Amino acid sequence: MSALRDVWAETLIELAEDCPHLLVLDGDLANSTRADRFALAYPGRFFQMGIAEQNLMGVAAGLAHGGFIPWLSSFAVFFTHRAADPLRMLVAQTGANVKIGAAYSGLLTGYTGKTHQDVEDLAILRAMPHMTVLAPMDGPECREMTRWATAHPGPVYLRLARDPVEGPAFPREPLSGQPRLLREGDDLALVSTGPQSLRCWEAAELLARRGIQARVVHLGFLKPTDQPALCAALQGVPVVVTAEEHSVLGGLGGLVAELLSAQAPRRVLRLGLEDTFGESASNQELLELHGLSPQRMAQRIESEMLR
């Protein structure tokens, strides 16, 4: 099973031949993000920008306004935090055709801890006008989203997880921009994004053994949100649970709570980091610690449902 970063890099190489304006700019992390594969395949279209993410973002905006499609390679946290201002002013405000390959997004960043875990990126980018924010759950969706982002005119942020995620192989679906129903169920709806959606599917399987039927909805297109489609996907369940590798503030949980409070009020339980920084640990330990493993999610949901 390949990791999203592998699929991303391979897709860029696939795209490069038919898309001569596609470039890759790296912030000295290509051998982590897998952009090094692109550097080998297309050395004349790969630009090392050094350890200077603000400049990386600014150069990308200039290249985009000069007619190119720069894909950026670094860790999510350095794009959305270190380079937040040039991202906001040079890329988002101007609508620059810059594509951000946000590697090592979310909580599971390979024993790197609080500095590298970007658990606020969705909160920042949801509030940033002109941005498109995507979080694929698996390899096939990552490939489609990388292709879609390259063709889409305007800035796109693509959340890429570091490690392969075990889970069922869902049938490949054409990208629609709409939420995707991974599992039927009417006792509650479990909404997630990125690879956490696969863990939610597992949690739903555990809940089913306890007699609780959870609907699982994957929202890969976080911004812009197809609000009518998301409301429709959440119809008919008394409780909605969100789960994300992100703070419970301002991310997917915020998105769902904001939408439902206005359109179809329901109890919303938000699972994620409780306004805290991460730490270095194994993926399994981190998922347990923050209540995001399938078992911990199932337990929490069951206890909430019995309340």
Partner 1 sequence: MSAPDLGQLERLARRARYLSCAAVAQAGAGHIGGPLSCIDLLVALYFRAMRVRPQEPDWPERDRLVLSKGHAAIGLYSVLALRGYFPVGELRSFDRAGSRLQGHPDMTRLPALDASAGSLGQGLSFGLGLVLAARLRGSSARTFVLLGDGELQEGMVWEALHLAPRYRLGRLVALLDANRLQQYGWPGSRTEERRDPWEGVPLPEIFTALGWQVRETDGHDFSQILAALAGVQEVPGEGPPQLILAHTVKGKGAPFAEGRYTWHSQVPSQEQLEQLRSALELTEAEVAW
Interface ranges with partner 1 (CB under 8 A): 23, 47, 49-50, 52, 54-55, 57-68, 70, 85-86, 89-90, 93-95
Closest separation in Å from C-beta 52 to partner 1: 4
CA angle 275, 278, 198 (to 5 degrees): 90
Closest separation in Å from C-beta 92 to partner 1: 10
- For residues 88 and 270, which CB has a smaller minimum distance to partner 1 in the complex? 88
- For residues 63 and 188, which CB has a smaller minimum distance to partner 1 in the complex? 63
DSSP 170-226: PPP----SS-EEEE--SSEEEEE-TTHHHHHHHHHHHHHHTT--EEEEE--EEES--
- For residues 68 and 170, which CB has a smaller minimum distance to partner 1 in the complex? 68
- Three-state DSSP class for residue 99: strand
- For residues 55 and 295, which CB has a smaller minimum distance to partner 1 in the complex? 55
Q: DSSP label at 241?
A: E
Closest separation in Å from C-beta 271 to partner 1: 36
Closest separation in Å from C-beta 36 to partner 1: 19
- For residues 47 and 148, which CB has a smaller minimum distance to partner 1 in the complex? 47
Among candidate residues 175, 107, 105, 104, the one with its CA nearest the CA of residue 146: 175
Closest separation in Å from C-beta 236 to partner 1: 43
- For residues 94 and 213, which CB has a smaller minimum distance to partner 1 in the complex? 94
Closest separation in Å from C-beta 115 to partner 1: 18
- Three-state DSSP class for residue 85: helix
Which tokens belong to 14? 């696939």
Which tokens belong to 166? 């075990």
CB 305 within 8 A of CB 239: yes
At position 279, the amino acid (one-letter code) is E
